[in-house]
Amino acid sequence: MRPKTPLDLSLAPVAAQLDMNLAQLRDRTADEIDFEIALALDRPERKGDPAERTERVLAIAVRNVDLHGWSAKITDDHCRLRLSGGSVSIDLGLSAELLRYIEAAPVSGAKATLEGVG
């Protein structure tokens, strides 16, 4: 497949950077994911609902990444991060553990650890 627009040329580097950011969370437990996200974003979650957790995972994925005009969004089923904006779109898989984290009830262990630190 050949690029059809100038924006298409930046797809691979953007996708690779997002994938590297997500890789640091993929194989962790829900407690570890909660802790790592709270630490990286410098704030604990407030509601702990899937919508908030989706936003937080997305914030980690796009952190320090120049999207070069691409839009990143976690799909409604919480399984993939979709990059769109050029002549194509691409989905990056999250992981079963990230899916469990997004859809799970609030995790209390990491919050207690963070509260003890600050």
pLDDT digit string, tens, across residues 65-101: 999 999 999 999 999 999 999 888 999 999 999 999 9
CA neighbor of 84 nearest in space, from 40, 18, 39 = 18
Distance CA 87, CA 97 (A): 31
Residues listed for the chain: 118
Which amino acid does the sequence have at 82?
Answer: R
CA distance 92 to 2: 20
* Cα torsion angle, 35, 59, 75, 68, sign: negative
The owner of tokens 């957790």 is 53
Q: DSSP assignment, residue 82?
A: E
Work out the percent of the chain whose per-residue pLDDT is above 70: 86
Q: Pick 43 or 113 by higher pLDDT.
A: 43
Q: Per-residue pLDDT tens for 1-19?
A: 777 877 778 888 999 999 9
Owner of token pair 């320090």 = 64
**What is the helix (H) or strand (E) element at residue 52, kind and residue range?**
helix 50-62
39: pLDDT confidence band, cut at 50, 70 and 90? very high
Pair type for strands 71-74 and 90-93:
unpaired
What pLDDT is attached to residue 113? 46
